[in-house]
Structure 1
Amino acid sequence: MKAFVFPGQGAQFVGMGKDLYENSPLAKELFEKANEILGFRITDLMFDGTDEDLRQTKVTQPAIFLHSVILAKVLGKEFNPQMIAGHSLGEFSALVASGALSFEDGLVLVSKRAMAMQKACEKEPSTMAAILGLEDEVVEKICAEIDAVVVPANYNSPGQLVISGSIAGINIACEKMKEAGAKRALPLKVGGAFHSPLMEPARVELAQAIESTTFNAPLCAIYQNVDAKAYTSPEEIKQNLIAQLTSPVRWTQTMLNMIGNGASSFTELGPGNVLQGLVKKVNKDVEASSIQSL
């Protein structure tokens, strides 16, 4: 069975989507529609901006979403998933690509999500760190024992877990992880503690926007981040999306469930090829590829 997956924040690069814009009338039309909806020319920043421009959350999230979704639309019949998933922000791309959300509604929600997350980050300085080479259970135990906000945030692949929380909590956790035998405990250059309780103000803000948006049944099951299970019910998809900002991204479990349910090939759509690599770490025998342009 064919699975398609969509990347999250961090996959962006200057020049992303430019060839789509130049070579596909449909892509050009959608990019221009996005400029209109957002109220600024995001295409200028995507195609010819600087790394710094693209690192602004209000730019990063819509940029990755647009590259991924427009690529899926331009592929036409070649985009034929039997199951689908997206990593964090990528879940919105997956929902639009699979018809659960319209292009316009998806972009508006992604833009609101980015703004709400930015606001939550400014309210309380916080961060994330990648922990390499420890069992998930060990990381979970260390986080639970620290008297500060620090939680598992992204279960990316076996032995690669990202933690999220207050700056003090992350600093203590990194030391304890190294003592416990982690190969690396690496603070990440991110704006804040995504997928942690510190995102609660953003979750509340985004919940209102999601509740008032129309969702449809997707063309195939979407495996959602919060519990790595397959969904087709618009109401359940909505509730899982609302819970996503303060819940961990269970990507390892998502890949295992998709493979267990028959996925034999994974295609990553959008910038970068991080997810292609993570699939291989979960199961080296599964076919994995990525598409970034036509």
Structure 2
Amino acid sequence: MAKNIAFVFPGQGAQYSGMGKDFYNQYEKAKQIYDYASEICNIDVKKICFDSSDSRIHETKYTQIAIFTTSLAILECVYGMGVTSNVNAGLSLGEYTALAASNVIDIKDLFLLVKKRGKYMQEAFPTGGAMAAVIGLSEREVVAICNQMNGNIYIANYNCPGQIVVTGEKAVVEASYEIFQKKGAKMVLPLNVSGPFHSPLLETAKKKLEISLKDVQINNFIIPYVSNVNAKYINYSCDIKSLLSEQIVSSVKWQQSIKEMIRQGVDLFIEVGPGSTLTNLIRKIDPGVEVLNIQAVGDMKTLLKVN
């Protein structure tokens, strides 16, 4: 019986030097994506992704375009294996690759939007922001601690049971570590990002993105995607532009999104792009669901059993 497949795409924090290089070297379609990204964005995306001495890979305005390009390049190779999806979703930045996979917005516009999004987010709060994953506490416990902190700290991501990401001013986020641990958190892990993403502190970035989205055309797409903002299947009739701008300042409902896709019949998730963060999260959300991870050329053979 045919699988009900969801492609899922990673967000910021998944980046590493050398990501996608094997696809670039072995697949013409992947090479074309990297070359196109560099041309459209006027940035040497290949150097950022492949050169270990290039520290720009960890600067938001470059990280986002690098991850988006890599995920898109790998996606083209997955399509080349004859594997397609019934629905798409991405974590934060990864939602833009989901938009590409669902043909919601044309590729050129998406490259330019991702470039602007990264720039706007970096400019909105250039220093003094932080994010951290709290392991081992319930949603209610994390929310209660955030509410009692003196300063700006918010829920950024509902990742999986017992893993919630907080975001906000660096001093406040760091001060929360001890309180989370006293309340029974197994671990608090600072994340490899450069700003307080998915918080009201990025309101100026939201407003700038709203303006940039005004002239962008939404295609009459067929394959739905799942929004981070409301964890719902999104189709052509939805207010997509509002959801995309709202996403910058809203919590990412990842756990809720995965549960909704499973409820709608998805029985195979394929993570496409650098890292394996989403694969690990999905297995914690539902250990019984099948998950594949495609981040290196060697992973492509696992797709042979899909068809």
Interval containing the TM-score (normalised by the shorter chain)? over 0.9
Partner deviation per Cα, 1:147-167 (whole Å, 9 max, x = no partner): 311111011110000100112
Matched, 1:267 2:270: yes
Amino acid at match of 1:180: K
Partner of 1:48: 51
Amino acid at match of 1:37: I
Partner of 1:85: 89
Between the aligned partners of 1:270 and 1:57, the Cα distance in structure 2 is: 17
Q: Quote how far apart the aligned CAs of 1:259 are.
A: 0.8
Q: Which runs of 5 or more structure 2 residues have no equivalent in the other structure?
A: 298-307
CA distance 1:48–1:171, change in 2 (3 Å) = closer
Matched, 1:172 2:175: yes
Partner of 1:98: 102
TM-score by length of 1: 0.95
Alignment of 1:56-135 (within 5 A): 56-76=59-79, 78-122=82-126, 125-135=128-138
- Determine which of 184, 189, 193 is the counterpart of 1:190: 193
Between the aligned partners of 1:49 and 1:174, the Cα distance in structure 2 is: 31
CA distance 1:159–1:84, change in 2 (3 Å) = same
Between the aligned partners of 1:51 and 1:152, the Cα distance in structure 2 is: 31
Matched, 1:279 2:292: no
Amino acid at match of 1:214: Q
Between the aligned partners of 1:293 and 1:234, the Cα distance in structure 2 is: 36
- Determine which of 23, 28, 31 is the counterpart of 2:26: 23
Tell me the secondary structure at the aligned position of residue 288 of structure 1: strand
Partner of 1:9: 12
Bigger mean CA deviation after superposition, 152-161 or 38-47: 38-47
User: Which structure 1 residue ranges, 4+ long, deviate > 4 Å from structure 2?
Assistant: none
Partner of 2:303: none
Partner deviation per Cα, 1:118-170 (whole Å, 9 max, x = no partner): 11122x52111111100011101111222311111011110000100112321
Between the aligned partners of 1:218 and 1:88, the Cα distance in structure 2 is: 21
Q: Quote how far apart the aligned CAs of 1:30 are.
A: 2.3
Q: Quote how far apart the aligned CAs of 1:235 are.
A: 4.7
Partner deviation per Cα, 1:239-279 (whole Å, 9 max, x = no partner): 11110000001101111111111111100001111101110
Partner of 2:159: 156
Partner deviation per Cα, 1:81-136 (whole Å, 9 max, x = no partner): 111100000000110122111111111100101111111122x5211111110001
State percent identity of aligned pairs.
39
Between the aligned partners of 1:234 and 1:149, the Cα distance in structure 2 is: 35
TM-score by length of 2: 0.91
- Given that 1:100 and 1:234 are in contact with CA atoms closer than 8 Å, whether structure 2 keeps it comes out as no
Amino acid at match of 1:17: G
Tell me the secondary structure at the aligned position of residue 254 of structure 1: helix
Between the aligned partners of 2:192 and 2:8, the Cα distance in structure 1 is: 24
Bigger mean CA deviation after superposition, 85-94 or 44-53: 44-53
Q: Which runs of 5 or more structure 1 residues have no equivalent in the other structure?
A: none
- Given that 2:13 and 2:192 are in contact with CA atoms closer than 8 Å, whether structure 1 keeps it comes out as no
- Determine which of 243, 255, 258 is the counterpart of 1:240: 243
Tell me the secondary structure at the aligned position of residue 29 of structure 1: helix
Bigger mean CA deviation after superposition, 151-160 or 162-171: 162-171
- Given that 1:13 and 1:51 are in contact with CA atoms closer than 8 Å, whether structure 2 keeps it comes out as no
Q: Quote how far apart the aligned CAs of 1:234 are.
A: 5.8
Between the aligned partners of 1:247 and 1:162, the Cα distance in structure 2 is: 12
- Given that 1:85 and 1:91 are in contact with CA atoms closer than 8 Å, whether structure 2 keeps it comes out as yes
Partner of 2:253: 250
Between the aligned partners of 1:98 and 1:273, the Cα distance in structure 2 is: 22
CA distance 1:112–1:268, change in 2 (3 Å) = same
Between the aligned partners of 1:286 and 1:255, the Cα distance in structure 2 is: 10
